[in-house]
Amino acid sequence: MVTYVYFAGTTASTVGYGDLSPQTEAGRLIAAFWFFPGALIVFSAILGRLAGDIVERIRRMADGYGSFETLRGATVIVGYNPDHTPVMIKNLIAGKDGDDKIVLLTKSSEADFPDGIKLVKSDRLDALASLRRAAIVHAEKVMVYAGSDAETFNTCLAIRELNEDLHIAAYFEDRDTARRAAKIAGLEAIVSNASEALVRAAQDPGAGRVLMALSEARVGATIYSVRPQEQLSVADMRSALYAQDATLVAVAQPGQDGFTFAPFPEHVQAGGAFYYICNARLSEAQIAAGLGAAAPALLV
């Protein structure tokens, strides 16, 4: 049986190794009238089916109906806004924080995004099955920008159900809703500061443009963060940042609801954060070089 399958396979594939061949006239007639056309038809049918399945999978992935459930370390964007989401993606890439695996979960059928972004479409953003397909279970971070505060809130709760440790950043229109979501779902809530920026622009001409520039990763200086895994001197970190043309602007202690600006405390505890302004994100090696041999492990 094995010899038969081997001979049929090498014959049908036109490889024809030659180690097996018909030796009698009857065998040659059988090979000519059966193996050649019959085996070729079967072989072609199998290859055609396999190729069709592969093409269908690729098409479904491209159309947003595939699954990235096994993808690890992805940055996931949930929701789509034609004015803001493309800019968010460009800033993610420009921020150089390892965002080379970006998944977009959207209800929109006309989403516009750069090449290389993995698309997942769903009728509901808070559906657990859709969030799983969008790689939420093993994601590194997620941004939620849904059509309403209620949808954003529900989506964040669903995300937290699938991943308890994931860092969630979510946009809300209402400050009270944002506060509740931050408390219940353990997320970082972002609320528009347009009114504050407008006042700053009126009172201090140019201040509004500075505030916008500080959140733009593609143009000029931007705010970045670094988190020490051990207690670290603020003076040491300030010097290390200064050596890289960066400026320390704020610190946060673990569990602290808010930030501390100058004058700074003497130390930031493990799990806290330093926030600095720089033209580009500094690597752990760059910051550690300024801290010297006693540099703790850092998350940048």
Report the pLDDT value the prediction gives residue 266, as an integer from 0 to 100: 92
Distance CA 156, CA 141 (A): 12
The CATH number for 10's domain is 1.10.287.70
Assess contact for 219 and 210: CB atoms under 8 A: no
Q: What CATH number has the domain bearing residue 81? A: 3.40.50.720
CA distance 93 to 128: 27
pLDDT value of residue 152:
93
Helix axes of 175-185 and 149-162: crossing angle, nearest 10 degrees: 10
Where in the sequence is the domain holding 245, given as residue range(s)?
221-299
Which residue(s) pair with 248 in the sheet? 276
Can you spell out the DSSP letters for the chain? -HHHHHHHHHHHTT---SSS---SHHHHHHIIIIIIIIIHHHHHHHHHHHHHHHHHHHHHHHHT-S--TT--S-EEEES--TTTHHHHHHHHHHTTSS---EEEEES-SS----TT-EEEE-S-TT-HHHHHHTT-TT-SEEEE--SSHHHHHHHHHHHHHH-SS-EEEEEES-HHHHHHHHHHH--EEEE--HHHHHHHHHHSTTHHHHHHHHT-TTSS-EEEEEEESS-EEHHHHHHHHHTTT-EEEEEE-TT-SS-B-SSPPSEE-TT-EEEEEESSPPPHHHHHHHH-TT---EE-
Specify whether the CB–CB gap between 278 and 246 falls below 8 A: yes
Residue 127 lies in a domain: yes
CATH assignment at residue 238: 3.30.70
pLDDT tens digits for the chain (300 residues)? 677 667 666 666 665 656 666 667 776 676 666 666 666 666 676 667 777 666 656 665 656 778 899 999 999 999 988 888 888 888 787 776 667 789 999 887 667 777 778 889 888 999 999 999 999 999 999 999 998 999 999 999 999 999 998 999 999 989 899 899 988 988 888 887 767 777 777 777 877 777 777 776 665 668 888 988 888 999 999 999 999 999 999 999 988 878 899 899 999 998 899 999 888 888 888 888 888 766 677 777
Residue ending a domain, among 195, 229, 252, is 195
Would you state the pLDDT for residue 154? 94
Q: Is residue 189 part of a domain?
A: yes
Q: Is 203 inside a domain boundary?
A: no
Phi, psi at residue 21, to the nearest 5°? -160, 150
Question: Quick one: 125 and 185 in the same domain?
Answer: yes
CA 259 to CA 275: how far, in whole Å? Answer: 9
Instruction: Give the per-residue pLDDT at 248.
Output: 93
Judge whether 9 lies within some domain.
Answer: yes
Q: Return the closest-CA partner of residue 152 out of 113, 112, 181, 193.
A: 181
Distance CA 104, CA 80 (A): 8
Same domain, 183 and 118: yes
In a domain, 211, yes or no: no
Number of structural domains, the chain? 3
pTM over 0.75: no
- Same domain assignment for residues 93 and 173: yes
The reported pLDDT for the residue numbered 58 is 61
| Residue 20 forms part of a structural domain | yes
Backbone Cα Rg of the chain? 29
Nearest to 190 by CA among 198, 202, 201, 179: 179
Report the distance separating Cα 148 and Cα 152, nearest Å.
6
Q: Are residues 59 and 80 in the same domain?
A: no
In a domain, 109, yes or no: yes
> Domain for residue 125, yes or no?
yes
